Structure formats: structure tokens, C-alpha cells
Structure 1
Amino acid sequence: SSVISTLISRTLAGNTPLYAAPGYALVSVWEILPYAGLGVVGALASVVFVLGVQTGRKTFAGLRFLPDPLKPVLGMALLGVLALWVPSVLGGGQDTINNALAGELSFPSRLGLPEELTILLLLGLALAKLVATALTTGCGGAGGLFTPSLFFGALVGGAYGIGVHALWPEIASPYGAYAAVGMAAIMAGTGHAPISAILILFEFTGNYDLILPLMVSAITASLIARRLRRASIYTEALYSKGIEIPWRMEEAVLAGLEADALSRPDSQILRPGDRYSDVVEKFFNSRRQRLFVVNADDRLLGAVSLHDIKHALENPENLTAVVAHDLMVPVDQVIRQTDRLHRAVEVFAHSDFERLPVLGEGDRFRGVLAKRDLLAVYAQEVLGRPALLATFVSSQDPQTNRQYVEIPPDFSLRLVPLPADLEGKTLAEARLPQTIAARVIEIRRQVHGHEEEVIPEGDTVLQKGDLLFLLGPTARLSALLERGTAAGDEALAAHQQQMG
């Protein structure tokens, strides 16, 4: 798609770069040192840019007295006032960037200001663009961050180039070259993606003679910016919500799930006043090594370990006055409801127990997270192996409303085409639970060329071409799958095509 769109655009608009930076190259081998310095300056400027955008978001979020629908009104009003004085902050700023790349940005001649003050103009425009970006993103506007970072980088790089050229005119290129490299440096520093920044600048400027300066500045800026702030401008919002972006694939998979999605209600909790005999009976009935003590307000008070009380099992008559509160010890390892599963793995690594308590808002006890369930999710989501868990998601919010339900190892979930002998029957008449021990979870039906979901009920009439989402014994579902019809096979193929 990118190749086709590029061919069409070049055919219609010509093969001209978006940001022209022709004729720039290294003036001297020693000029690579100022470009390395631009990488350092770019890293610091990138952090300033990210902090500016973050400040805008926090400022508008702190205006609690202002209704949310009015925040964009306030933000756009302030942006309009700024644009009255600095019109170039509006839009993508392509003309301003091209002027900076050409070295043609300067104060109007009518002001009679010396050319040396051009550096102040570039820094002032960069600051104004940062304020405009912070206002737009902070108030909830739909403006992006990519083009503003290019604008900001071109002006910061150009200002740096003016300073370098003033100090070492014999080895320094015009400031337009530093503006081009500054775009890549800021892009790499804000996005933590130096390779992408280098390649994109090649495409944007059409200048491949700047490859060494681009590589040095972009990689330097990215390395330093990453050390100064671990979050890029695109992941800052995720980190602020407690969502971390891991490096490894398996961590990324587990990080997408919260502990609450896997926690189970604990029916074996103890109350502080439970007698010793009741505690022992619950241990015998649960086969657990540890039971949690929870008060009437669902506060976790502690835990009673079977190992700690086993010495008293020989003479229980001596502990008639002892209650669960006397036997419990503090719980040192807990998991929060909003913790991501890759963090839960780390907590389990420091615990000797098979279950850990899950706490919700206000430190209220929500249930337990079992190591067995966590390993099953790892096997299913990371290793791709059949596990004892089936994943159910809500169609309204599939990212957050995800639940794992345990099923026996010889059972499975299958999408099966409706056999011909069941066409026209109601679901009750099909007697699938009685004949093959399978339950219909959902029915997928083709209606006017698109697939609809039908909630199964006893009087639902099964139609030709229906797809049954069944939970049942794997062997029997496989046998039912072989009874499919041509219409069912076509419906199954259409479903797979729609699912991509």
C-alpha cells in the first residue's frame, strides 16, 4: 500500500521531496563533532518537548472546575491568541521548515535587526510551537505529535547551526544543514526510534549525503534521551496509566492483561473470630497450604499457614480458646488488581506459595491469583500450546473485558458448521447436550452478506449455513465437524475470510 500510494503521489505531484535540503554535505571530517554535539542538544530538547506536552495534559486535567466539553474551547481560544502573534504555529508548518532548511528564516528587514539575532527567532518559534502543541494535546485536540516534533527539531537544529557556524565558520555547514539533522535528532529523541528517524529524513529531504551526520546525531539523541526519560512521547500516556511497554515478546503479551482478569473469588477465607477447629476443618476440606484472614470490611488482615499450625494438630484440645486472628501472620507478597501479569510473575518468583491475594481499591480483598492459572495463560498466549483455559472477551471492549475460564483438558471450543440433519430444528430439538455433551455458546449466521451473532436459546431455529460455537468433548466435536455440509463449509470459509 505504501508503494502504491508513493507511485500515485509522485505521478500526480512530481518526484519532489516534502522538505527540500539539497546540496548539504559534510564540509570537513571534523564537522562530525558538532553534529555529535547536536545529538546531545537534541536529546535535551527532546526531553523538554516531551515534558512540555505532558505539562499541557496535566494542566488541563487539573482544571476540575471546568467541564470537559469546555476544555477544548479554552485550549483553542488560547491557541488562537498565540496564533495572532505567531501565525506559523498553526498547521504542520511546512513552509517554516522549508525556510529553515534553506537558511532563509530571519527577522523582517523593516525591523533593522542584525542577522546574528536570527538564532533568537528560531528558538522563539520553537518555543511557540511547543506551547501550541501542549495546548492542543492538553485540551483534547486531535493534533498529532509527529509533525510538531519535526518543526521543533528543525528550528532547534537551525539555532544550533547558527551558533556552530559563528564559532567555526571554516568547518561548519550553513544552519540549514543542521536544521535537517536536527529534525532527525528530535524525532529520534522524542520517539526513541533512531533508525526510523534516519530513514524518514532520507525520504523527506531526498538528501543522502547527510547520512553520517544523521546517524551520529539521531543515535546520540536517542541514547541520551532514553537514559533521561524511559518513556517516549508516544508511550508517555501509557506509562501515566500504569501500562508498561516491555522489550521481550512474552512480557508484552502478559503485560496486556491485568491480574483481575485471572483472579478467582476465594471461598475458603477465614474470619478473625473463627475457632481453631473451624480453621483445621477448612484446611482439611481445601487442600490448601495457606488460608487468608479477611474481616467483615473485606480487608486482608493476614494468613494462616498449615506449616505454622501443624505442630498443634496432635493436641487440638489445648487450643479451644484460640481463633484465626491469633494464628495469622502478615502477608508480605500481594498483587494489586490493576497489576499486569508480567509483574505478577515477578511477585510469584519471590514467593513460595501457589496462591497470592489480589487486592482492589482501598486494599479490599478481591480473591486469589493461582500460579497454575498464570502458567496456563503463559502456555496459551506465549507458547501457543493448548491450555486448560478458554478466553472470552466482550464485544464492547475486547481489550479490557477479557476473562479466562478453565475447561477440562479433553474439552475444547470449536466453530462447527451445522450438520444437514439439524437444519430447521430448534436448539432444544437438536439435543446437543444430551447426544454429544456439547453446549452452544453462540451461533454465527450469514445475513445479507455479513455475519451476525445469534444468542442461543431453546426456541432458536437452526438454519442452513449456521456456524455453531460449541464447547464439548474434543473427539465428539471433531466427529460433528466431519458431518458438515457444503453450505456450512462456505459459511466457515466466509467467516475465516472476514476474520482475516
Structure 2
Amino acid sequence: MSVLVGFLAGLGAVFLKNLTYFIEALLEQGIIFSNNQLYFILPIIGLFLVFLYVKFILKKPLEHAISSILFSLSKKKGLIRPIQIYTPLITAPLTVGFGGSVGLLGPAVASGAAISSNLGRLLHINAKTRSLLIACASAGAIASIFQSPIAAIIFAVEVFSLDLTMLSLLPLLLASISGVLTSYFFLGNEVLFNFTITDKFEIKDTLFYILLGVGTAFASIYFTKMYFWILSLFKPFKSPKYKLLVGGMAIGVMLYFIPPLYGEGFGFINSLLEGNHIKALGKTPFDEFTYNIWVVIALLFGITIFKAVAMTTTFAAGGSGGIFIPTMVMGSALGNVVAKVINNLGLGFNVSESNFTLIGMAGLIAGVLHAPLTAIFLIAELTGGYELFVPLMITSAISFLITKNAIDYSIYTRELAQAGALLTHNKDQTVLTLMQLDDVVEQNFKSVHPEMTLGEMLHQSVSKSTRNIFPVVDENNILKGIVLLDDIREFMFDTSLYTTSTVETYMHSAPEHIFYETDTMQKVMQKFQDSGAWNLPVIKKGKYYGFVSKSKLLTAYRRKLINFTP
């Protein structure tokens, strides 16, 4: 199954790439791109086509590819709707092909994940195996796009928080190999970066690579904060049409002044690796000044700044795509800028601009995605060797450490973490995330009313209940308190109190309440720990819903832990 999933995910990635390049080629043949005013209208056309698809076919908002997969793993037992198989294959090429400044990796992974999920559902496999197949699909898609099987496996482990055991390693290997072979079969030996390392790592450059690590860390923090800030700017727009219009025009303006922001940006990276920064920058309004290296540096730094802006604006306007490849573009520009500044300060230093371009990509991937190992192995595999392994480790480690200290969660995981739906390598937290509150809520409790007499309570509730706790609710089912069997034990056989005392006399507040809509399972477990209670009431929409018992909670936790652990 892992071989089949890898093949299908790889096939989806190949189709995605080819359709996007076909759209780009069609536009290049039909439109004279030297006239930069045309950049202004193309993103709006692409976003409008995506809008039509979402409104009339999908009929629900687009989701962020990787985040939606992580949510399905944690809260939906790895179940993904069949429509998600082909939705990314349609919306992403329309977005990127018409100039949206996003990547294709996320949509390729999303499509592959949906394929594996629905294949698992068809064959009635359990949730644990289905989750592993989704990770296999991501490995197959990444291996197919980048032709880097090792980085694909590491990405699945780092981003999907997969436990790397022999049980999971072999399927990941098979899926990754299958994805790579699929890419070779359909695309031949075509590589993303036609580049061979000629400048070896020199120990004297170590300080500069440390500097690059710090620079990429701050760029990663900027990238992440800018992403959420721009999304918040678009939230007041209630209509998708306004988002499309404002976002499309903003992207068009940016493309007019900075053409390399068009589409994914692999051509830009290749030109930088070739040492041809004029070709990388394309035709801009500042062409007559590019003889000055500092103008070139400023323009490249502008790409570093505005790639995050253009990418997020594309998402906010309703586009579909991924953040992985824009991260690489931004990193390549920053790495090249740092190298050019070092070489042109007049202090006698000389570093390899191509090497810094590559390692800048690794630094941004490590910082933005919180995936340092993926960054190291991806760049090493893309360049066909491990000559730069030491500087890759230096820059990626520094970038990750600084960024992780400043921002706890990546773009993929922040909203999931806030909702308590994030899987991590922490087994305790992961098991609690996988648990559902409905699985542990018990409703076989006899409720009583505050005005009931002691006799009515004993005859109508206590004598007919197998539980030793009784929720006290009013006529609207709002919880007023609880009565324990211990609270009335000494009065139960005093018949003189049967008609003279009421439930209100014996009730008291619960030590803590569980709120159905907002409390995560981590919060529920913490409330039991802090209160020392054996049963806590659950409030749903302001009304009494049931109880959670500590014994049932711990039993469910143990079962889930056994099922989750290989």
C-alpha cells in the first residue's frame, strides 16, 4: 500500500507541476511579457477562476494544505474528503500559473494525503495505519517534486510528528522511492536546480555562516509574523470578492516593480545560482541603475522583504498554494544579499555567492517551518552532494534555535496548537490530542432540582441510580450544583427530614467545570489534577451535559496510548 500511495502521490505531483507549467507557457506565448503592465491583471484572473471553483463546486473555503492534514490526523482519525484529491490539482495551478506568489508543494502533499486517506477508508484500515499512509503520501509527493527521497522521509517525521520506528520507516522508504521513480519515469532526469558545487566549504567562512544563520532567523520571524498580520488585515472583508479584488491588485503592483515574485520562483533561484543576478531580477523599472551592485543588492533585498507579503496576500485573496517554496525563494535572495554585501564591503573578504544562496534557503526552511533536518538534507540532496553539510548544519541550527525561542509554533501549527489539535513528539500530549471528549462523557446520572424534598430525591433519584453523585439543575437544565451520596448519608434514614428539607440544603458547587466547546483534553486532565476530584460536570452551551469520571478518562487514555504506540 505504501508503494501504491507513493506512486499515486508522485503522479499527482507530476500532474500538478505539468499543468502549472502548461498554463505559464500558454500565457507566455499569448502575452508579451516585456510589457510589465500585464502582470497587473493576471493574478486577478487566476484568483477569479479559483473563486468560481470554490463558490460553485467546492462550496466551502479553501484550507491551508498542511494544516488541514494535521487537523485531520488529530481530530478526524485521518479521514479526508474525496473532493480534496482533485481540488488542490485545480486551484493551485490556477493560482500559481497566473502569477500567484505561492508554491506547489503543499497542494501536492494535500492531494496525496487525500488519496491515501480515501484508499485507507476503501480498504477499511484502522486510523493508526491510515495516519501512517498519509505520511507516506507526503513523502511520495515531496520526493517526486524535489527528487530528494531522504529529505521527503525527514519532512514526514518532522512536520507530521511521526515516530520513526522500523514499523514506520520501511513504508516511508518505499513510498519515497516510489515517488522518486514516478518523477523519473515522467520527467526524466530533469532537476530543479541545474547546479554543481564548485566552491568547497572553507573554515575561514565559518563566522559568515553563523552570521547568515542569525540573519535567516530574523527573516524567519519576520516571515511568520508578516503572514499572520496580513491575514488579519483581510479579515474585516466579509465578501470573498473584495478580498480577491484588493489582493489581486496588490499582487499586481508588487509584480510590476518586482517581477521575480511571479509564480513559484524556481527560475529566480537558478539564475542566482548561475551568478546571473540581472536575469534573476528580470525587467524592472530600475533597469538603468542595475550597473551599480548596491542597487542590485537593494532589489534582491526587496525580494526578501516582499516575497512573504506577496505570498500571504495570495492566500488572503483566496488563492491556493504552499509556503515551502516561497520560503526557499526568500532564503535564496537573502543568502545572495549577505554574500554580495560581504564581497563588496571592500574589506578583502570573498565568499561563494552560490553557496550562500543555497544555505540561505536552508536557514529559512529551518526557521519558518521549524524543520532543520529537512532543510539540511533537502539542500544537500538537491545539490547532489554533502560538501556543504557543515555550513548547512551551522546555519540551520542557529536559525531554528533563535526562531523557536521567539515563536513557539510554525505557520503550519500555530492555529492548531491554539485549538488544542496539534500532534507533537510528546506522546502524552499527542495521546490527549487524539482523544475526544465525547468518548469519555457519561450521562447516566440522575439529575435533581433544588426545590425537591429529601424524600423525593431518595425515592426518584437515589434509589434508581447506580452513581453516587447527583447533578442539581433548574427547569432550564442549567447546573446549580451537585449532591454527593456522602452529603446525605447521615440524613437518609431520618424520615422527619423527608418533607422538611430540600435538595438545596445539601447541594454545593462542583470543584471544577469542564466546558465542552473550549476545553481541550489537556485542559480536562489538568482540571482533574488540580481539583483532585473523581467526577467533574460537563457544561455544553451553558447547560448541564454529563460528567467525566477520572477512572474512565484514565482507562480511555491507556487504550489510546496502546493503540498509538508502535
The TM-score, its normalising length taken from structure 2, stands at: 0.60
Query: Structure 1 residue 348 and structure 2 residue 528: aligned?
Result: yes
**Residues 61/240 of structure 1: CA separation in 2 closer, same or farther (3 Å cut):** farther
Listed as ranges, the matches of 1:9-158 within 5 Å are 9=183, 13-14=188-189, 16=191, 18=193, 20=195, 22-27=197-202, 29-64=203-238, 66=239, 68=240, 71-105=243-277, 110-111=288-289, 114-158=292-336
Secondary structure of the residue aligned to 1:367 is strand
TM-aligned CA deviation for residue 171 of structure 1: 5.2
Distance 1:274 1:326 in 2: 10
TM-aligned CA deviation for residue 198 of structure 1: 0.7
More strand by share: 1
Work out whether residues 154 and 179 of structure 1, in 8 Å CA contact, stay in contact via their aligned partners in 2.
yes
Letter in 2 for 1:63: F
Q: Which runs of 5+ in 1 are unaligned?
A: 386-500
**Residues 52/349 of structure 1: CA separation in 2 closer, same or farther (3 Å cut):** same
**Hey, what does 2:560 align to over in structure 1?**
381
Q: Deviations over 1:353-398 (max 9, x none)?
A: 332212223x33222223343344334332249xxxxxxxxxxxxx
Q: Deviations over 1:272-311 (max 9, x none)?
A: 2222333445344324333222233333222223334444
Distance 2:214 2:539 in 1: 44
Letter in 2 for 1:23: T
Q: Which runs of 5+ in 2 are unaligned?
A: 1-5, 7-175
**Residues 8/247 of structure 1: CA separation in 2 closer, same or farther (3 Å cut):** closer
Listed as ranges, the matches of 1:86-485 within 5 Å are 86-105=258-277, 110-111=288-289, 114-166=292-344, 170=348, 172-249=350-427, 251-281=429-459, 282-313=461-492, 315=494, 317=496, 320-338=499-517, 339-361=519-541, 363-384=542-563
**Residues 269/183 of structure 1: CA separation in 2 closer, same or farther (3 Å cut):** same
Aligned residue pairs total: 381
TM-aligned CA deviation for residue 145 of structure 1: 0.8
Q: Deviations over 1:153-178 (max 9, x none)?
A: 11222223334445585555133322
Distance 2:563 2:290 in 1: 70
Distance 2:342 2:511 in 1: 57
**Residues 333/163 of structure 1: CA separation in 2 closer, same or farther (3 Å cut):** farther
TM-aligned CA deviation for residue 15 of structure 1: 6.3
TM-aligned CA deviation for residue 19 of structure 1: 5.8
**Residues 145/316 of structure 1: CA separation in 2 closer, same or farther (3 Å cut):** farther
Q: Deviations over 1:171-216 (max 9, x none)?
A: 5513332221111111011111111111111122335221111111
Distance 1:54 1:112 in 2: 33
Distance 1:59 1:93 in 2: 25
Work out whether residues 293 and 301 of structure 1, in 8 Å CA contact, stay in contact via their aligned partners in 2.
yes
Identity of aligned residues (%): 25
Distance 1:328 1:37 in 2: 65
Letter in 2 for 1:24: D
Q: Which has the larger radius of gyration?
A: 1
Distance 1:277 1:367 in 2: 24
Q: Deviations over 1:302-345 (max 9, x none)?
A: 22233344444464635854433343322232222243434433
Distance 2:305 2:246 in 1: 20
TM-aligned CA deviation for residue 4 of structure 1: 4.8
Secondary structure of the residue aligned to 1:208 is coil
Letter in 2 for 1:306: L
Work out whether residues 50 and 190 of structure 1, in 8 Å CA contact, stay in contact via their aligned partners in 2.
yes
Work out whether residues 47 and 225 of structure 1, in 8 Å CA contact, stay in contact via their aligned partners in 2.
yes
Distance 2:427 2:361 in 1: 31
Letter in 1 for 2:259: P
Distance 1:312 1:21 in 2: 88
**Residues 180/291 of structure 1: CA separation in 2 closer, same or farther (3 Å cut):** same
Work out whether residues 53 and 138 of structure 1, in 8 Å CA contact, stay in contact via their aligned partners in 2.
no
The TM-score, its normalising length taken from structure 1, stands at: 0.68
Distance 2:229 2:196 in 1: 33
* RMSD value, Cα: 3.0
Letter in 2 for 1:33: L
More helix by share: 2
Distance 1:124 1:138 in 2: 21
